[in-house]
Structures are given as C-alpha cells and as structure tokens.
Amino acid sequence: MFFIFQPLSIFPMRYGLILFFSLLTLPGQAQVWDFSKRVFNSVFNDTVSSERPKLIAYPTLAYSPETRWEFGVSALYVYYAKQDTSNRLSEINAFTFLTLESQYGLWLDHALYSDESKWFFLGRLRLQRFPLLYYGIGPNTPEEEIARVDANSIALRERVLRNIGGNLYLGTWFDYQRLSSVDFNTLTNEPIDFPRGSNGSTNFGIGLGVVYDNRHNVLNVREGFFGETGFLHYDDAWGSDFPFTQFFLDARYFYPTTRNQVLAAQVVANSTWGEVPFNQLSLMGGESMMRGYYLGRYRDRNLLATQVEYRFLPFPFSKRWGAAAFVSTGTVSPSPQEINLGDWVVSGGAGVRFLIFPSKDIFTRLDVAFTEEGPGFYFFIGEAF
C-alpha cells in the first residue's frame, strides 16, 4: 500500500490524494495467508502466464476544493484474442467515482483487436456530473477560471475499423455528446459572454477515418507507428442541435534507441468549423497531451500540439523500475491561418515507471509536469501515448 499526491485529470491543477492498491479475484475458501500470497504474486510477480487475460482493480481516493473527497474504483483488463500472443494486446480501462458533493462518473476506454487484427474497435465513454472549469475561448484567456460549469454529460466516441491490408484500417466514426442540466456559474465580477451551448446541447456526429497501426502493445509501445485521421459531421438531420464539422489528426512514432529505451513523439491537430458548442471546441491539456495543463484550460476552433518523450523501460540496473522525461508545446486559435508563434505554451516534466505486469510488458506511471501556471501530477497504468 502506498500513497501518491495527485490531482486527477478531471481536476484543476490542485493537490489531491490517491490511494492505490491492487485487488484481484477473491478465492473461494482459501485461507488468508494463501490469498495474501496470491495477491502479491499476481501483482508483483505476475505469475499468470502471458497468454492469459489479466485483471487489476484498485480503489482511489482524491480531494479537490471543487469536489471535496472523492471515492472511486479503477480497473484494467488486458487480453490477447484467442489467447494467442501473436495477436495484438487488447485493453479495457474502467473508472467510476462518487464525491461528497454528489458528483459522480463512469469512464470506459477500450482498444480491442480481433484475431489476426482483422477488426479494430477504438473508443471511450464518459458518463458524469462533474464541475467543468471554463477559462474562456482563445489562446489569451485569463490565468484564473471565469466560470464553473455544473452539468450532466454523456460523451461516447467509437471507431469501428476493418483491416484493408497490412497495418491499414478503414472505418466509420461515431460521436455522441450531450450536456444537460447546465448551471453556468460565473466566478468573476466582470461580465462574460456566455458561449454557444452554455444552456446545454445534444450532438451526434458521423464520419469516416483511416488508421495505420503497427503497434503490438498499446499500453507500452516500444517500436512502431500509429496514425489516425478523419472527420466527423454533426447535423440536425440526425439529431444534432448544432451543425458543424470536425477534422482530426493524431500521429505517433516510437523508436527504440536501445533494448529498453524508447524515443516517442506525437503530433495532434484538430480543427472545427460551423456552429461549434463550447464543450466540443478543440481542448488542450489533460493527462496525455500537454500534461500540466487542465483539460480545457485553452480551447478554440483549432488545436495544434506536439510532444516528445524519452523512456527507460526499465533502467539498466533494475528489473522493474524505470523513468521517462517529456516536453510538449501547443496552441489554439480561431483559424489555422491565425496560429501565432507567440501564443504557444510549453510544458515538460519527468516521471517514474514500475513494471506491474512483466509478462505483458505493462508499466504504471507517476508523472510530474511543470508549466508557467504550476505543476500537475498524474498516476495511471500505461504510457501517456
């Protein structure tokens, strides 16, 4: 059992507390000592054979001034299709929480490969009532949030992809987002312009996309390339309150410099045009790209960001412990033509790694990121990208 100080990615950059320990399937009539050995070996010695599925679950405890105490449970399930390790590793992440302010949420993320990787299902679900901090729109917003938005939100994005040759996939994108029971609380004495969608909205997008993916382990990529590009169109013809279009690009490259060291790089671009509600503008920040900034600290119609990370997985002198160092930069703008070099912000930091599943080459990470506005702390299973 150990304690880590961290603001969860859904919190602003203030200190929280997360309590982490591993729980696995309870044995039926096993004695306490046998159960303890089983838990220890399953987590720290990873005695489950590499081809078999693996489940880890753990409770979380966090604190933020906006939520007070938060209690939650996180879980990770990984497996190979047909228990064949020549297939790519599939993963399902789940997280649910409840706070003393009657806020709650359920998160589900997945990257699932069928046998021989013929089909690829990539998506995420967010069901929650949780405070969203709003700083305004554009690259030059105030340092402090100008509003707190309490709302019920549903966000579901799913890609259904079919292999069309080699590592290339083609498929359909679906995106459903609903913001309801919105309470837009201003936190400044200055008048503000309420953004489009401040009273709530429901939007459904349909689109097409292409993915190139030759990664074998999405939670810890040691070599390969992942590229995703496509578009989504939201229209009142299929139930959207606001008509708009979104284009996105995500490219990631992983180069092994030595047997256990990896240089990783990522470029992300997002562009929206039409009547875009504030909650579906391009958002910068979070636990993956531009770590150290609150997700949505900067938002606008367009986003361009990049990051580089160097990983020791693990150190040459250790079997389980490693580290990583990273730096990122990005900006938002009203249009691609209005991207200004002076509006770019930078974040960087480092973190430790612990090999929690040796047979599946999966690490936990504790990252500390620094920005002009202060530090951010992140604890997750799997790398940031």
Q: What is the pLDDT of residues 58-113, one digit of tens each?
A: 898 877 666 778 899 999 999 999 999 999 999 999 999 999 988 999 999 999 99
User: Using CA atoms, how far apart are residues 184 and 370, in angstroms rounded to an integer?
Assistant: 29
Mean pLDDT for the stretch of residues 211-227: 96
Q: What is the pLDDT of residue 223?
A: 97
Most confident segment among 98-107, 186-195, 315-324? 315-324
- Tokens, residue 213: 């993916």
Q: What is the pLDDT of residue 151?
A: 95
DSSP states of 251-263: EEEEEEEETTEEE
Q: What is the pLDDT of residue 42?
A: 55
C-alpha closest to that of 314 among 360, 349, 361: 361
Q: What is the pLDDT of residues 251-282, one digit of tens each?
A: 999 999 999 999 999 999 999 999 999 999 99
Handedness of CA 18, 19, 25, 28 (dihedral sign): negative
Question: Which pTM does this prediction carry?
Answer: 0.85
Query: What domains sit in the chain, N to C, each tagged with a CATH number?
Result: 2-381 (2.40.160.50)
**381 vs 321, residue with greater confidence:** 321
Asked if residue 14 has pLDDT above 50, the reply is no
Looking at residue 193, what DSSP letter applies?
P
**166 vs 44, residue with greater confidence:** 166
